Structure 1
Amino acid sequence: MKVAVVGCGTMGTVHGTDYSLLPGVELTGVCDLDRETARDLAGHLETIAYFSFEDMMAEAEIDAVSIALPTHLHKEYVMKAADLGKHVICEKPIALTLEDAEEMISYCQEKGVRLFIGHVVRFFPEYADLKRKLDSGAAGEPGVAHLKRVGSHPGTAKDWYNDFDKSHGVIMDMMIHDIDFARWAYGEVREVFALNRRSADQDYALVTLRFESGAIANLEGHWGYPGAFSTAAEFAGKSGIIRMNSGDSNSLKLLRKGAAKASASRVQVPKSPSYQDPYYYELEHFITCIREDKEPLVTAEDALRALEIVLAALESARTGQPVRLPLKGGIAHA
């Protein structure tokens, strides 16, 4: 399987590095408008650097391409890759609007290529284990869940995150991980209520999801958190509680003055104590789905539903009112 990566920033580096480790996969090129960035990554991974998407697609042998670009560019490059008959692995979120996401999905279907969206939390061993325990009925009938995800502000590393029109802030770019997981665990969402406070260096959100089953999930997300990146989840049912905290999986904890400030100089990537990083497992899974024509653990339609919940949360935060789903035909206020 010959693959290429578009975008050589943090996520492009993760994708490229994991592709270089996957058996039966050849990384045939990386592309970025920033020539130095592209050359550095290509040199590190012993592949070819390209500075134009069109040049790379014309010159390199490619079966599938990873789109690791800012969110507002996803649609353009997914559709360009589909036009050339290439399977697409695109970072989350799928797009900024439901219309764009739906067009991307239908366009890839029309062109006969697979579209995968990188909702990587489903591939974290600790989250996968939490889902297995929930499915086993260990906690009983679903009740209330609490999910938390905090870290430094990525806008200190990449300026496009500071442009709300391009990133849609912490709810779209970071909390969407927990939104997707909560929906995977509890099913379809009926109503959303959200609070969001943004400043130059802070973006904090609280979002409550009410599910069709009657279960409730409270989600907390924070860009600009002064400590280390961390995640936590708690699912309470009628028979028990299942908890997960990223800090508990660290065999050694070292607190060092100035560490939080230093980490803010780059976009943070969630870590896991697993043998390979979760992105490796995610990309391995997507490649297998292409090879064997299998349905993925997370579908493009799952990504569309997560986006719909995000947009409902953003509308709720704007108006101060709960928002009912689905959003088709306009936004209905509860």
Structure 2
Amino acid sequence: MRVSIIGCGTMGITYAKNLASMEEADLAGVCDIDAARAEEAAKAGGTRAYSDYKAMLEMENPDVVCVCLPTYLHKRTVIELARLGKHIICEKPIGLTLEEADAMIEACRENGVRLFVGHVVRFFPNYADAAGQIARGETGGPGVAHLKRYGSYPQGNGQWYHDRNKSGGVIMDLMIHDIDFVRSVYGEADTVYAAKAQSGGEDPFEYAMVTIRFLNGAIANLTAYWGYPGPFTTEAEFAGSQGVLRLGSESSRSLIVTSKEKGPEGKAAVQVPQSPMRHDPYYRELKHFLDCIRDGSEPLVTAEDARAALEIALAAERSCQTGQPVAIGGKRA
């Protein structure tokens, strides 16, 4: 299956490395308006670099296109690719508004192509194992969950993250991973309450706290932090009537190495969670999506799931603005 990549930032390079090592895929070109980034991704994936994605599509004729562009470019790119008959793997979040998400989903449906959204946390083995244990009732009935996701403030090529009209901010871009995961565990959300603190200047940060009440009675407390001074960190705790389940980035690593970050431009624009496995969760995610295209099966994460996570994130943003709980699906809070 021929797969091309549009966007060669941190995620584009991550995709390129994984696709290049996959027997099921032929990495058929990468594209970025920044020629140096395109060349870096092409070198990592052993393929050709382009600066014009239309030229890449014409020359390479891919079956699947991975959209690793800034969030504000997702809608127009996905719709154009759908009209060209390309299956699409799009990085999260699906878009900035529900209207964008609906337009993307409808365009793919109308043109008979598949749309997958990269909510990769579902493919981390420790999170997948936790979801299975909760589904089997090993922690008992619905209870309370606490999840956190902390990383450095986006920098370098990630300047677009600082514009809320382009990235949506820390809830939309970072916390949405945990929003999707807790929804996959507890089902549909009922109400959302959120608060946020942020600062610009020479030492910027954005910190958000979100509480989600689910229809089944469970409560999830989520925190996300851009500006964390340490390494990328995740933690999760799920407490039910019969027990407590805990996991985290440190406890899931079989080998821990601490060193100074190197490179001509310092840190990457965004931090990517590391994995000790032979094939990382991004490999597992991409292979799963390609398998779904090949055999027509339903993915672990659907485009509708991505829309639902976006709806919760948008409700959290409204709650930050109003200081009041916000209901999901038009219900009164």
Structure 1-normalised TM-score? Answer: 0.95
- Residue 46 of structure 1 deviates from its aligned partner by 2.0
In the other structure, the counterpart of 2:284 is 281
In the other structure, the counterpart of 2:211 is 208
Where does 1:208-247 land on structure 2 (aligned, <5 Å)? 208-247=211-250
**Unpaired segments ≥5 residues, structure 1:** none
Change (3 A) 1:27 1:255: closer
In the other structure, the counterpart of 1:76 is 76
- Residue 263 of structure 1 deviates from its aligned partner by 6.9
Q: Within 2, Cα distance between the matches of 1:85 and 1:238? A: 49
Structure 2-normalised TM-score? Answer: 0.95
**Cα displacement string for residues 246-275 of structure 1 (whole angstroms, at most 9, x for unaligned residues):** 11123344556889xx97453100122222
Q: Within 1, Cα distance between the matches of 2:18 and 2:40? A: 16
**Cα displacement string for residues 194-246 of structure 1 (whole angstroms, at most 9, x for unaligned residues):** 00112111000000000001110000100001111110111100010011011
Secondary structure of the structure 1 residue equivalent to 2:274: coil
* Letter in structure 1 aligned against 2:181: F
The question of whether the paired residues in 1 share the 8 Å contact of 2:255 and 2:276 is answered with: no
In the other structure, the counterpart of 2:87 is 87
Q: Within 2, Cα distance between the matches of 1:71 and 1:295? A: 24
The question of whether the paired residues in 2 share the 8 Å contact of 1:153 and 1:264 is answered with: no
* Letter in structure 1 aligned against 2:100: D
The question of whether the paired residues in 2 share the 8 Å contact of 1:150 and 1:231 is answered with: yes
- Aligned pair count? 328
In the other structure, the counterpart of 1:13 is 13
Q: Within 2, Cα distance between the matches of 1:92 and 1:254? A: 29
Moved more, 272-281 or 115-124: 272-281
Change (3 A) 1:251 1:46: closer
In structure 2, which of residues 302, 321, 326 is the aligned counterpart of residue 323 of structure 1?
326
- Residue 126 of structure 1 deviates from its aligned partner by 0.5
In the other structure, the counterpart of 2:187 is 187
Where does 1:266-277 land on structure 2 (aligned, <5 Å)? 266-277=269-280
**Cα displacement string for residues 136-181 of structure 1 (whole angstroms, at most 9, x for unaligned residues):** 1110001100001101011355110111111111100000000000
The question of whether the paired residues in 1 share the 8 Å contact of 2:155 and 2:268 is answered with: no
* Letter in structure 2 aligned against 1:36: A
The answer on 1:98 being equivalent to 2:98 is yes
Q: Within 1, Cα distance between the matches of 2:332 and 2:323? A: 10
Moved more, 36-45 or 106-115: 36-45
Q: Within 2, Cα distance between the matches of 1:69 and 1:319? A: 31
Q: Within 1, Cα distance between the matches of 2:39 and 2:141? A: 53
The answer on 1:27 being equivalent to 2:27 is yes
Secondary structure of the structure 1 residue equivalent to 2:250: helix
Secondary structure of the structure 2 residue equivalent to 1:88: strand
Give RMSD over aligned pairs.
Answer: 1.6
In the other structure, the counterpart of 1:36 is 36
In the other structure, the counterpart of 1:153 is 153
The question of whether the paired residues in 1 share the 8 Å contact of 2:13 and 2:44 is answered with: no
Counting aligned pairs with the same residue, the percent is 53
Change (3 A) 1:236 1:263: farther
Change (3 A) 1:252 1:79: same
Secondary structure of the structure 2 residue equivalent to 1:57: helix
Q: Within 1, Cα distance between the matches of 2:194 and 2:274? A: 27
- Residue 16 of structure 1 deviates from its aligned partner by 1.1
- Residue 190 of structure 1 deviates from its aligned partner by 0.3
In the other structure, the counterpart of 1:299 is 302
The question of whether the paired residues in 2 share the 8 Å contact of 1:64 and 1:88 is answered with: yes
* Letter in structure 2 aligned against 1:89: I
Secondary structure of the structure 1 residue equivalent to 2:242: coil
Change (3 A) 1:263 1:231: farther
Q: Within 2, Cα distance between the matches of 1:312 and 1:103? A: 20
The question of whether the paired residues in 2 share the 8 Å contact of 1:321 and 1:333 is answered with: no
The question of whether the paired residues in 1 share the 8 Å contact of 2:116 and 2:289 is answered with: yes
Q: Within 1, Cα distance between the matches of 2:40 and 2:314? A: 37
Q: Within 2, Cα distance between the matches of 1:131 and 1:274? A: 19
Change (3 A) 1:257 1:33: closer
Where does 1:53-72 land on structure 2 (aligned, <5 Å)? 53-72=53-72
Q: Within 2, Cα distance between the matches of 1:99 and 1:258? A: 40
